[in-house]
Amino acid sequence: MTKVVIIGGGPGGYEAALVANQLGGDVTLVERDGLGGAAVLSDCVPSKTLIATAEVMVRIESARQLGLHIAGDDVTDVVRVDLGEVNERVLELARAQSRDIERRLLTDGIGIVRGHARLEGAPRVLVDTADGERVLDADILLIATGTTPRELPDAPCDGDRILNWKQVYNLTEVPERLIVVGSGVTGAEFASAYDGLGCDVVLISSRTQVLPGEDQDAAAVLQKAFADRGMTIMSECRAVAARREGDGVVVTLADGREVTGSHCLMAVGAIPNTAGMGLETAGVELTASGHVVVDRVSRTTNRDVYAAGDVTGVFALASVAAMQGRVAMWHALGDAVTPLDLRHVSSNVFTTPEVATVGISQAEVDRGDLRVGSVLLPLASNARAKMQGFTDGFVKLFCLPTTGIIVGGVVVAPRASELIHAVSVAVSQRVNVDDFSHAFTVYPSMSGSLAEAARRLHKRGDTTHLTN
C-alpha cells in the first residue's frame, strides 16, 4: 500500500487526503492548528460570515429607496451591532466546520497527527508533537502549508489596535475609525464589511483604484460604490509605518503624511509557510518569494513531492487549492487526471457589490494577447435590478470572433458569486454565444442580463466590438 503523507490540513490538504484514501493509499495528514487550515479557521469561512452580517446592514440601510423607512437618520440608530457576539458566531461556525472536516477524515480511516512537520531528505518527515518527535516515512508527500499574513517592518501587528486579517475577530466593538492598508481582495472585502457595519473606514491604496488585480471596469464601479457610501479612499498612497498612540493608531505614508484612526488593519499580502521545512535540501525548488514551484499536476522538482494551495502561489483560492490537491493525488496514484487549467477558474470578491470573474481578462484583451468580441451590459437596464434597488454593476462577456465561443466573463452585482456559474460552465464547455442565449432564463431575473449580453454578441461580421 502506497504511504501518503500530507503536511497541512487546509482545502488542498484535506481534499488530497480524501482522494488518496479513495484510491487505496495509506494516508497520514499532519496539521498544526486545526483541520480546514486558515481557509476555515481564520480566512474564508470567518471573513465571509462577517461579510454576510454586514450585507444585512447594507440592505436595511438601502431600504429607503424601496419605500421602507427606518426610524432614524442612520441604520445604526435602530440596529445595534454587537461585534463581540458577531465574531463569536463567526469563530464558532469556523470551529464547527473544522470539526466536520476532521470527523469526515477520521471516519474514512485517515490518520491525523497534530504537530509541526519538516523534511529530513524526502520523503521522510519529522513531526514535533506534544508527545515528542515522530517519524513518518512516505512514498508520496504533499506540501499544503498555506501562508501567513505579511507585516510591514515598521508596522508590527499587536492584535489589539494594529491587526492582520487573522486578528480582526478579536474585536468586541465596531472600530470608531478603521484604517485599512491595502486595496487588494482582502483589503477591499474587509473595508466593505466594516463600512456596512457602520464603521468610518479609510482605505489606503498604493494604486490608482481599488482591486488592481481585477477587471478595471469592475474596480471602477466598486470604487464609486465605496465613495458613494462615504468611505474615504486614499489612492496612490503607500503606508510605510503604523504605531500605537494612546487609544488609537497613526499610519505614516511614504510622503510623510499621517492618518489617524482607532484601529488599523494591515492587508498587505501574505508570505508562504515554507521556511524551516527543509524543502531545499529535499530538492524542492522555491521561487524568490518562497513559494513552491509546481507544474500543472502539482508536482514539484522532486518527483515524489507535490504541493497544493496558497503555498504554491498559483491562485490564492480555496477552490484552486482543493483542485490542486485532488490533481496531485490522481497523478501520484495513477488515476486519470486532467492538468489544472486556470482559465476555467471562477473567482469572486465578496464586496458590496460583488465582483466575479472567469476566463480571460480585459487586461489580456487590452494587451492584444487574444482577439475577442466583447460586450458590457450595465445592470441599470435590468428589470429585477430596478425592483431591488440595485443600480451599480454590469455583466461582461468575451467570445472568440469567428466561432462565438465564450472565453470569459465578468459580473458585478449582488450575488455575483452565484451568477458567474453559468458563465463558468460556458467557458469550460466551450459554449458559443448563440447556444448560451437560446437557453431560457426567468423574467425578471439578473441572469437575464447574461443571456442578453450573449445575444448582443451574435456574429455581425466584425471581429471585435464593445457595446455599452
Can you give the CATH number for the domain in which 412 is found?
Answer: 3.30.390.30
- DSSP letters, 171-212, are --S--SEEEEE--SHHHHHHHHHHHHTT-EEEEE-SSSSS-T
Taking each helix axis from N to C end, the angle separating 216-228 and 185-196, rounded to the nearest 10 degrees, works out to 30
CA angle 74, 91, 320 (to 5 degrees): 100
Asked whether residue 317 falls in the same domain as residue 243, the answer is no
Average pLDDT over residues 326-339: 97
Average pLDDT over residues 256-281: 96
Ranking 119-123, 230-234, 379-383, 457-461 by mean pLDDT, the lowest is: 457-461
Question: Has residue 21 been placed in a domain?
Answer: yes
Q: What is the pLDDT of residues 336-350, one digit of tens each?
A: 999 999 999 999 999
Burial label, 282 (beta-carbon count in 10 A; 0-12, 13-18, 19+): buried
Helix or strand (DSSP H, E) at 359? strand 354-359
For position 79, what pLDDT does the model report?
Answer: 86
Average pLDDT over residues 17-37: 97
Which residue in the block uniquely carries the three cell numbers 481585477?
Answer: 214
Question: Has residue 300 been placed in a domain?
Answer: yes
For position 133, what pLDDT does the model report?
Answer: 96
Asked whether residue 230 falls in the same domain as residue 278, the answer is no
For position 459, what pLDDT does the model report?
Answer: 73
Average pLDDT over residues 239-258: 97
- Last residue within a domain, chosen from 246, 268, 290: 268
For position 73, what pLDDT does the model report?
Answer: 77
Q: Which three cell numbers stand for residue 269?
A: 499580502
Asked whether residue 440 falls in the same domain as residue 307, the answer is no
Burial label, 449 (beta-carbon count in 10 A; 0-12, 13-18, 19+): buried
Question: Has residue 156 been placed in a domain?
Answer: no
Asked whether residue 399 falls in the same domain as residue 325, the answer is no
Asked whether residue 393 falls in the same domain as residue 252, the answer is no
Beta-carbon contacts of residue 274 (< 8 Å; ≥ 6 apart): 143, 145, 286, 290, 291, 292, 311
Q: Which domain holds residue 415?
A: 353-456
For position 391, what pLDDT does the model report?
Answer: 82
2 DSSP assignment: -
Check residues 464 and 319 and name the one with the higher pLDDT: 319
Burial label, 2 (beta-carbon count in 10 A; 0-12, 13-18, 19+): middle
pLDDT reading at 121 higher than 80: no
Asked whether residue 21 falls in the same domain as residue 62, the answer is yes
Average pLDDT over residues 179-207: 97
d(CA 320, CA 308): 8
For position 468, what pLDDT does the model report?
Answer: 42
d(CA 202, CA 152): 18
Count CB-CB contacts under 10 A for residue 128: 14
Average pLDDT over residues 61-85: 84
Helix or strand (DSSP H, E) at 89? helix 83-107
Q: In what order do the strands lie in the sheet with 239-245?
A: 239-245, 248-253, 258-261
Average pLDDT over residues 229-244: 97
Question: Has residue 252 been placed in a domain?
Answer: yes
Asked whether residue 331 falls in the same domain as residue 418, the answer is no
- Last residue within a domain, chosen from 268, 290, 311: 268
- Last residue within a domain, chosen from 219, 238, 268: 268
Asked whether residue 137 falls in the same domain as residue 190, the answer is no
Task: Give how many domains the chain has, as a whole number.
Answer: 3
pLDDT reading at 465 higher than 50: no
pLDDT reading at 461 higher than 50: no
Integer angstrom CA distances of residue 327 from 17, 313, 331: 11, 16, 6
Q: What is the pLDDT of residues 86-101, one digit of tens each?
A: 999 999 999 999 999 9
Asked whether residue 28 falls in the same domain as residue 60, the answer is yes
Asked whether residue 180 falls in the same domain as residue 105, the answer is no
pTM above 0.75, yes or no: yes
Integer angstrom CA distances of residue 340 from 6, 77, 326, 412: 20, 50, 10, 26
Average per-residue pLDDT in the chain?
A: 94
Question: Has residue 464 been placed in a domain?
Answer: no
Asked whether residue 169 falls in the same domain as residue 294, the answer is no
For position 233, what pLDDT does the model report?
Answer: 98
Asked whether residue 300 falls in the same domain as residue 241, the answer is no
Average pLDDT over residues 49-74: 87
Question: Has residue 466 been placed in a domain?
Answer: no
Kindly indicate the confidence band of residue 464, based on its pLDDT and cuts at 50, 70 and 90.
very low
Q: What is the pLDDT of residues 391-423, one digit of tens each?
A: 889 999 999 999 999 999 999 999 999 999 999
Kindly indicate the confidence band of residue 122, based on its pLDDT and cuts at 50, 70 and 90.
low
d(CA 140, CA 121): 13
pLDDT reading at 74 higher than 50: yes
CATH code of the domain in which 71 resides: 3.50.50.60
- Whether 6 contacts 27, CB under 8 Å: yes
The Cα diameter of the chain in Å comes to: 72
Question: Has residue 329 been placed in a domain?
Answer: yes
Question: Has residue 348 been placed in a domain?
Answer: no
- Whether 317 contacts 346, CB under 8 Å: no
Count CB-CB contacts under 10 A for residue 35: 24
d(CA 308, CA 452): 38
Residue 165 CA to its chain's centroid (Å) = 13
